[in-house]
């Protein structure tokens, strides 16, 4: 089920008639049978978009299509969607079985068939042995699975997940995100999930949509978006540790940070912003990019160097190098920059150059 949003806008009106544009003219196509992540900082309109897909919110303007069918005026109960809420919204007075069977009872499915289906889906998500428990007697991860089972049991056309991992602790989060990926692969259901965690989105999505203040920034495969950001916001938002931003300039076809020559760059002379990924630095013998190391942090296989920017006193950047390289604070190093790991942006608009 391919999902298309056409110029979708959502404006919230407060009691004092102040208007907030949560989603602004969103125009995206979400591919069928894949896991798509809506990614952005809080307040970017990603949850609003998800709730508009579910039908719980109506767009102020624009159209939503499931396949060729327009669903904009269709209420949530008739859209054929499964929705997993951020805090799961499991009915506390029902057992796991009753929770999972509830959507089936609503469509008056035969009781035995419903029970069989509930059991099958519970087995799929790995909670088949917990059917008689109440939600309160389950751990966060188990509750999450019950919520997914309840959303999947009615065989929806689309599965929507609102911040599915935000209520789990770090370890469970890692495990659950593999689990969501596996369930999605096995059911092949078009799945859209919302997250503010770029690592989470990058690790499980087939496709990510980066949003900012209700406006799409970039759509594409996670690695592609990471490697080829279309603007400064996307470059800054993806990656941990975040990308290093430098004030730089283009001079006679060369990219300069202060007096350091970074690379050849054949566009007209101007002031620019340069983003360099921490893993984009290499320690070399000869280079005009000379720096002094401030601090060295070795964590596991990586060594992170904290270095003062050559053209801005007091500001630092991070470079990740092999832990083989024994570097001490105070060492003077010469660096080069890997050609695919830096990006040049327009100083005013932030667009890629």
Partner 1 sequence: MLEDQHNVKAWFYLAPALALLGIFIFYPIVNALFLTFVQDYEYLLGTFDGFTLLGNFKNAMQDANFSQAFLNTLFITFVSVPISVIVALLISAWLNGIKKFQGMFQTIFFLPYVTNAIAVGMAFAFLFNRDFGLVNLFLGFFGVNPINWVNTGANWGHAMFSLVIYITWLGLAFKIMVFLSGLQGIDKQYYEAARVDSASRSRIFRRITVPLLSPMIMYITVTSFIGAFKAYTQVIGMFGQRLGPPGNDKSLITVVALVYEGIDNAATVGALSEAAATSIILFGVTLVFTLINFQVSKTRVHY
* Residues lying near partner 1 in the complex (CB under 8 A): 54-56, 75-78, 81-83, 85, 87, 89, 91-94, 102-103, 106-107, 150, 154
Tokens of 81: 């969607």
Minimum distance from residue 145 beta carbon to partner 1 (Å): 16
Contact 147, 85 (CB under 8 A): yes
Residue number, 14 or 252, with CB nearest to partner 1: 14
Distance, CA of 13 to CA of 18 (rounded, Å): 6
Q: Give the number of other Cβ atoms within 10 Å of residue 112's Cβ.
A: 8
- Where do we find the tokens 């950047």? 317
Minimum distance from residue 94 beta carbon to partner 1 (Å): 8
Minimum distance from residue 49 beta carbon to partner 1 (Å): 16
Residue number, 34 or 95, with CB nearest to partner 1: 95
Minimum distance from residue 167 beta carbon to partner 1 (Å): 13
Residue number, 51 or 237, with CB nearest to partner 1: 51
Minimum distance from residue 173 beta carbon to partner 1 (Å): 21
State the first-to-last Cα distance of the chain, in angstroms, to the nearest integer. Answer: 36
Q: Give the number of other Cβ atoms within 10 Å of residue 141's Cβ.
A: 19
Minimum distance from residue 183 beta carbon to partner 1 (Å): 18
Tokens of 312: 């801005």
Minimum distance from residue 156 beta carbon to partner 1 (Å): 9
Report DSSP letters for 32-86, one per residue: TTSEEEEE-STTSSHHHHHHHHHTSS--SEEEEEETTEE-TT--GGGTTEEEE-T
- Where do we find the tokens 């929705």? 83
Distance, CA of 347 to CA of 89 (rounded, Å): 45
Q: Hey, which residues does 161 pair with through a beta bridge?
A: 84, 193
Residue number, 78 or 221, with CB nearest to partner 1: 78
Residue number, 136 or 286, with CB nearest to partner 1: 136
Residue number, 144 or 216, with CB nearest to partner 1: 144
Residue number, 9 or 86, with CB nearest to partner 1: 86
Q: Hey, which residues does 12 pair with through a beta bridge?
A: 20
Distance, CA of 35 to CA of 193 (rounded, Å): 8
Contact 85, 144 (CB under 8 A): no
């Amino acid at each position: 089920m391919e999902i298309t949003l056409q110029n979708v806008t959502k404006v919230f009106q407060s009691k004092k008639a102040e208007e907030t544009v949560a989603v602004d003219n969103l125009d995206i196509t979400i591919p069928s049978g894949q896991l798509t992540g809506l990614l952005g900082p809080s307040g970017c309109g990603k949850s609003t978009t998800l709730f508009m897909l579910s039908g719980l919110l109506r767009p102020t303007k624009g159209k939503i299509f499931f396949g060729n069918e327009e669903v904009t005026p269709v209420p949530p109960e008739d859209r054929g969607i499964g929705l997993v809420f951020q805090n799961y919204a499991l009915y506390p007075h029902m057992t796991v079985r009753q929770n999972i069977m509830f959507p089936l009872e609503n469509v008056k499915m035969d009781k035995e068939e419903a029970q069989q289906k509930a059991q099958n889906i519970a087995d799929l998500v790995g909670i088949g042995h917990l059917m008689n428990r109440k939600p309160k007697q389950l751990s966060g991860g188990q509750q999450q699975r019950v919520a997914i089972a309840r959303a999947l049991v009615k065989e929806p056309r689309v599965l929507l997940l609102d911040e599915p991992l935000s209520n789990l602790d770090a370890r469970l989060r890692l495990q659950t995100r593999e689990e969501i990926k596996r369930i999605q692969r096995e059911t092949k259901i078009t799945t859209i999930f919302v997250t503010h965690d770029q690592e989470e989105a990058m690790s499980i999505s087939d496709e990510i949509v980066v949003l900012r203040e209700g406006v799409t920034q970039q759509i594409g495969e996670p690695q592609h978006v990471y490697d080829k950001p279309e603007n400064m916001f996307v470059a800054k938002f993806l990656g941990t540790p975040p990308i290093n931003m430098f004030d730089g300039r283009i001079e006679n076809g060369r990219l300069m940070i202060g007096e350091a020559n970074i690379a050849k760059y054949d566009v007209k002379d101007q002031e620019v912003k340069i983003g360099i990924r921490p893993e984009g630095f290499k320690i070399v013998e000869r280079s005009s990019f000379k720096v002094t190391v401030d601090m060295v942090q070795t964590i596991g296989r990586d060594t992170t160097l904290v270095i003062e920017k050559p053209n801005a006193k007091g500001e630092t950047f991070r470079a990740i190098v092999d832990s083989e390289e024994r570097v001490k604070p105070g060492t003077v190093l010469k660096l080069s920059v890997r050609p695919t790991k830096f990006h040049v942006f327009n100083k005013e608009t932030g667009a890629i150059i």
